[in-house]
């Protein structure tokens, strides 16, 4: 399930809710839709990660035999049922939010399965597909006010770019990677940061947003630069791990742009939880 990663998925949904403007309306008096969206994203993300291991079982038997299925802790059939149940939970929770939320939940499930079964083996479509999963997850949060999805759908491009870059470099976790790919990821990271600061300049308070962007940049670039200097598997793995967990800081930055610093601070509180979980469970 990658529990540390699941926490970052919740941060995606919370950022989307902040973008929708829901937290600035009287509807904020009802936390039920927020709770339902958090449950939905937990179910959808967990299901996708579990099916990733199901589809990767043959490769994992060679490269990562310690994982749950190849190690014999759980069978393929049991994992398939487990993942399906999480997808179902995600869909049911989405149903009680609204029809647009259900459509987005179905799209996330399809994107996860397409990635796990086919796209991950493609050098371009794989990272793009994985990024799409996160972009849709952000919109899942926005769908708390369904009409806002059509207004802010293009913001999903930012997490698509960010996750695509992480996915690209993650291919070197086992056998090492190329400096060229790592430099390209650094450029994409810079594009993501510039995009958030652009919206902060036009819509929010850029000074407040910088309080979240600066630690975000430090968290992702420090291990990436180390990997560029020495692109061996362990260094790349650390860069990928930091990139995934740093999503919480990125989502806090979005919240600071579209809501206020107090909402961003709530999202930040997920960071220590994710870090603690990352020490006990695999992130990549």
Q: What is the pLDDT along the chain (284 residues), one digit of tens a residue?
A: 899 999 999 999 999 999 999 988 765 678 999 999 999 999 999 999 999 999 999 989 998 899 999 999 999 999 999 999 999 999 999 999 999 999 999 999 999 999 999 998 888 899 999 999 999 999 999 999 999 999 999 999 999 999 999 999 988 776 677 889 999 999 999 999 999 999 999 987 899 999 999 999 999 999 999 999 999 988 999 999 999 999 999 999 999 999 989 899 999 999 999 999 999 998 87
Q: Are 227 and 186 in contact (CB under 8 A)?
A: no
| Residue 265 in tokens | 């601070």
Q: What is the pLDDT of residues 169-212, one digit of tens each?
A: 988 776 677 889 999 999 999 999 999 999 999 987 899 999 99
Q: Which helix (H) or strand (E) holds 196?
A: helix 179-203
State the DSSP string of 56-97.
THHHHHHH-TTSTTTTTSS-HHHHHHHHHHHHHHHHHHHHTT
Alpha carbon distance 262, 275 (integer Å)? 21
Q: Which of 251, 204, 199, 209 is nearest to 13 (CA)?
A: 251
What is the reported pLDDT for 178? 84
Q: Are 245 and 11 in contact (CB under 8 A)?
A: no
Considering its fold, how many domains does the chain have in total? Answer: 1
pLDDT digits (tens, 9 = 90+) for 13-47: 999 999 999 988 765 678 999 999 999 999 999 99
- The C-alpha atoms of residue 256 and residue 267 are separated, in whole angstroms, by 10
* Domain containing residue 149: CATH number: 1.10.357.140
- Note down the domain range covering 114: 3-280
Question: Can you give the pLDDT at residue 123?
Answer: 86
């Amino acid at each position: 399930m990658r529990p540390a990663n699941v926490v970052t998925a919740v941060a995606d949904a919370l950022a989307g809710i902040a973008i929708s403007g829901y937290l600035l309306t009287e509807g904020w008096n009802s936390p039920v839709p927020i709770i339902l969206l958090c449950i939905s994203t937990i179910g959808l993300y967990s299901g996708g990660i579990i099916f990733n291991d199901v589809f990767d079982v043959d490769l994992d038997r060679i490269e990562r035999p310690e994982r749950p299925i190849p190690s014999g802790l759980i069978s393929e059939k049991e994992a398939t049922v487990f993942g399906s149940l999480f997808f179902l939970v995600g869909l049911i929770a989405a149903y009680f939010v609204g029809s647009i939320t259900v459509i987005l939940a179905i799209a996330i499930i399809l994107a996860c399965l397409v990635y796990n079964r086919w796209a991950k083996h493609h050098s371009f479509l794989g990272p793009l597909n994985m990024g799409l999963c996160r972009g849709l997850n952000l919109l899942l949060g926005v769908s708390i006010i369904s009409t806002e999805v059509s207004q802010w759908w293009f913001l999903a491009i930012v997490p698509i770019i960010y996750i695509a870059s992480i996915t690209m470099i993650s291919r070197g976790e086992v056998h090492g990677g190329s400096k060229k790919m790592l430099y390209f990821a650094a450029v994409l990271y810079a594009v993501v940061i510039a995009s958030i600061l652009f919206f902060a300049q036009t819509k929010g308070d850029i000074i407040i947003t910088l309080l979240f962007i600066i630690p975000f940049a430090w968290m992702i670039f420090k291990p990436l630069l180390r990997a560029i200097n020495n692109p061996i598997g362990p260094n790349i793995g650390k860069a990928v791990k930091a990139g995934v967990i740093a999503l919480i800081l990125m989502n806090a930055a979005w919240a600071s742009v579209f809501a206020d610093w107090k909402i961003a601070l709530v999202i930040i509180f997920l960071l220590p939880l994710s870090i603690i979980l990352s020490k006990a469970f695999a992130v990549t």
